[in-house]
Structure 1
Amino acid sequence: MDSPKKVAFYTLGCKLNFSETSTIARSFENEGFDRVDFSEKADIYVINTCSVTENADKRFKTIVKQAQKANPKAFVAAVGCYAQLKPHELADVDGVDLVLGATEKFKITDYINDLSKNDFGEVHSCEIEEADFYVGSYSLGDRTRAFLKVQDGCDYKCTYCTIPLARGISRSDTLENVLKNASDISQQGIKEIVLTGVNIGDYGKGEFGNKKHEHTFFELVQALDEVEGIERLRISSIEPNLLRDEIIEFVSRSRTFVPHFHIPLQSGSNDVLKLMRRRYMRELYVERVGRIRELMPDACIGVDVIVGFPGETDDRFLETYNFLNQLDVSYLHVFTYSERDNTPAAEMKDVVSQKVRNKRSKMLRGLSVKKRRAFYESQIGTTRTVLFEGENKLGYIHGFTENYVKVKAPWNPEWVNTLQEVILSGIDADGLVRFKTIQEVSV
């Protein structure tokens, strides 16, 4: 008997991509493939691409070379956002055999009949208007948490963003299916589920361009809170205009939803927000942060921000810097603006030089370090519940509190995938938090 073929995966980009890679991997396993690590020798390497930043585009070639080094005869397939936007560019990369667009990626096993190398990359991609159906997915790779996809695509027209071109219109899973997937995940012994999608606050829009909301995101949150066996639920990222007061209020008294919000801002200048075609002004953002702080003073609040957007003058950047400096948030995800083909922003005037973009990015990253430190310091002395992860990192075990404080302790295999009540006691030189267990304190 022939031994099973081996398949390996590499994921670039967001939590949504990780959940989809897991689903694609399960389709291979159902066909009898053995999944191995990307660094190992495999018969097929599948690379799930991202196109949010220029850097992700460049990394693709490096990853293809990595696969070829592990096995020069392996079949290499590319899927994901970059594969939808620029399929022929990927197909031209030396070593790539197959490129699948947005509608084809979940049917990848149908395209892999012959594993011999192609002279040229074969492309199967659709017009993005055809991506009007929904494929549910969730990741089970990490024993402690799973990414559960509830929504895909986006109807927003932000001037810098290629995601509507790469993923199509906003569409959602059914409430019944999300609850079934959540229940399935909880039965695997996973303690935390992170809800993910492109624009999850827009949850409820059906398939085939049906814009009627069958259920709202608020109804989804309420229903998930009732699922047996789930210890923690986390909302990955939600637009400020869709993070309604009723959601914040529900999370504040929820059984399972944790006090952690990630809310994209993108700029603290209303002039730049208008150029970006965002659907709110900074005043609304202040309201949302204020409401969270009022109900959950210890909540962790993360912020996405883009620097160097066309028209971001020195004064407008300082507006953003000062706005964030004064805002009671916990950390920043800083993105340096990069031009993307077929977006209105790529044609805009008043382009910011790369040198200035990099300088501004460095300033905001420095502010983020300061913000995170201040947030961690505010938590010292509090009692928290930590979910510990499974990796032994240089003799330490790491975990996160419900409000997203990262802690560390000497490696203890008995703590893997368990929830432990602790008292946060100090911050180490590496910025992670030390703690004492309740038992240690009571002795």
Structure 2
Amino acid sequence: MNERDSEQVARMFVEGGYTLTRDEQDADAILVNTCSVRDQAEQKALGKMGMMGKHRERRGHVVYGFMGCMAQSRGEELFERIPHLDVVVGTQKYHRVFGYVDGILKQRLEQRMDVVGAEMESVRVEDDLVAKGSGPGPAKSVLDTGEEEGSQNTIRDHVAGERQPTAFVSIMQGCNMRCSFCIVPDTRGKERGRPIADVVEEVRRLAGKGTKEVTLLGQIVNLYGRTEFPRVGGRSPFVQLLEAVHEVDGIERIRFTSPHPIGYRDDLVAAFTYLPKLCSHIHFPMQSGSDRILKAMRRPYKNEKFISICEKMKAARPDLAITTDIIVGFPTERDEDFQATVDCVERLQFDNSFIFRYSKRKNTPAAELDGQLPERVKEQRNQELLRVQGEIAVRRNAALIGTRQAVLCTGPSKTNKERLSGRTSQNKIVIFDGDAERMEGEIFEVEIEDSTGFTLFGTAAPEVGVGAGVEFGDERAVGPRY
């Protein structure tokens, strides 16, 4: 979600005449979009911004800013922590970042020109005059973390001119759940959904520029529109949105993240039987396999319900891959609670798990619970579950060797620019050789030849442009038209 928010901000700067750069030493404005889900993410952002203060000595006009969840939760405190910080903007004000930064930067550049002009004038009149201060004067800092009605509708634009085989599409903001470990409801606000027609129009624009795959984003994406839009024919607003996006010509794959067991109803399960563009992958956070810990987390479901949904999904789409999030070392977690989590991972055979050690988050109920576990215990459990999940992933990916997989090429590999990278419908990374200019943004088959456990390697079939939909009998099933 942060990546999508950052793209919206970047688009506004490009439209305002700025050029994006990956080199912070060349930048006139440096913005860090922050996350507060874990303390490590906040500390990394604070450390990075602190180190960048060295550029102010050489380029005094540069504007520094924090955006996002940490900016929302910490606010004024960040100016005390980072003396050179200029802008702190919360999660409902991304669309205002450009105006704030541009205003400060223009003021500083004008002040610098005034100083230079005065120096030049003084030199002409009196050659031995001592030079005046060379740095620009201070500009006002900006703190904006307030709520703004309709802010969910402002994350809608993408960076112009860039070919995007895949794209994120924000469909909602906020969360009404109150998991005891999570700060998101405080940083993102209450659930607010965009109208279906607006989302579909954004997807159409992306398809018109060559995008083949979209990922629909929400804090709890399957609860989209539940308090704002009506159910129609027994279908939730989210399923209605999936059906509408499915009808957009040019879009061949649809993903969504992240759903929650609450609200994951049979109409969403059924959608995987008649919407072939839905990818055969869901990222479905479990958090714990222990009912006692789930209750302490304020996750209002039992583990058997989670398992039941996974089994229904695999019955609806037999080639489905499921990945998950798990927290280990939650307060009061006993050996038997952890073992219940291990047992569930082994039962469901997740394709991958993102496993995190519990860390306290400010102003969350879990942070005040008795029974906080030592870091040593958290680390032991983290390593054990990583080992279990790693063995499962190796087996599942090894089973794909010798098969052909439909892959959407997303461009050069991040680790080896000489090779190409893409993803299967199950969201598995595939590395292969090929012509980036011809293959990027296309879906074609790759013969899988090897696996390192989490990455597949193969050779592209000679025919490019193979369809990536899921076959249902002799014809492709389609949903209602909008």
Q: With structure 2 as the length reference, what TM-score do the two structures score? A: 0.81
- 1:50 — aligned with what? 35
- 2:450 — aligned with what? 426
Count of aligned positions: 418
- 1:137 — aligned with what? 156
SS at match of 2:412: coil
Q: Does 1:28 align with 2:13?
A: yes
Partners of 1:325 and 1:347 in 2: how far apart?
A: 32
From 102, 107, 111, the counterpart of 2:96? 107
The answer to whether the 8 A contact 1:19-1:149 is kept is yes
Q: Which moved more, 1:184-193 or 1:391-400?
A: 391-400
Give runs of aligned pairs for residues 144-155 of structure 1, distance below 5 A: 144-155=165-176
Paired-residue identity, %: 27
The answer to whether the 8 A contact 2:326-2:355 is kept is yes
Q: Does 1:234 align with 2:255?
A: yes
Q: CA shift at 1:319, angstroms?
A: 1.2
Q: Which moved more, 1:73-82 or 1:103-112?
A: 103-112
- 2:117 — aligned with what? none
From 411, 415, 424, the counterpart of 1:401? 424
Unaligned runs of 5+ in 2: 109-135, 232-236, 464-482
Q: With structure 1 as the length reference, what TM-score do the two structures score? A: 0.88
- Deviation digits for residues 115-166 of structure 1, max 9, x if unmatched? 23786983423455x5664233365567221111001100001111100100
- 2:435 — aligned with what? 412
Distance verdict in 2 for CA 1:139–1:338, change over 3 Å: farther
Q: CA shift at 1:411, angstroms?
A: 4.9
- 1:124 — aligned with what? 143
The answer to whether the 8 A contact 2:75-2:145 is kept is no
- Deviation digits for residues 256-311 of structure 1, max 9, x if unmatched? 11110010110000000000111211011111111122222221100111111111
From 98, 111, 115, the counterpart of 2:87? 98
The answer to whether the 8 A contact 2:428-2:454 is kept is no
From 360, 372, 378, the counterpart of 1:351? 372
Partners of 2:258 and 2:93 in 1: how far apart?
A: 26
Distance verdict in 2 for CA 1:280–1:131, change over 3 Å: farther
SS at match of 1:302: strand
The answer to whether the 8 A contact 2:350-2:389 is kept is no
- 1:302 — aligned with what? 323
- 1:286 — aligned with what? 307
The answer to whether the 8 A contact 2:217-2:258 is kept is yes
Partners of 1:437 and 1:253 in 2: how far apart?
A: 29
Unaligned runs of 5+ in 1: 1-15, 206-210
Partners of 1:43 and 1:330 in 2: how far apart?
A: 43
- 1:172 — aligned with what? 193
- Deviation digits for residues 392-443 of structure 1, max 9, x if unmatched? 432321111111222111353232222111332332x475223344449xxx
Query: CA RMSD of the aligned region, Å?
Result: 2.3
Q: Which amino acid aligns with 2:33?
A: N
- 2:203 — aligned with what? 182
Partners of 2:388 and 2:224 in 1: how far apart?
A: 33
- 1:362 — aligned with what? 383
Distance verdict in 2 for CA 1:417–1:69, change over 3 Å: farther
Q: Does 1:315 align with 2:324?
A: no
The answer to whether the 8 A contact 2:213-2:251 is kept is yes
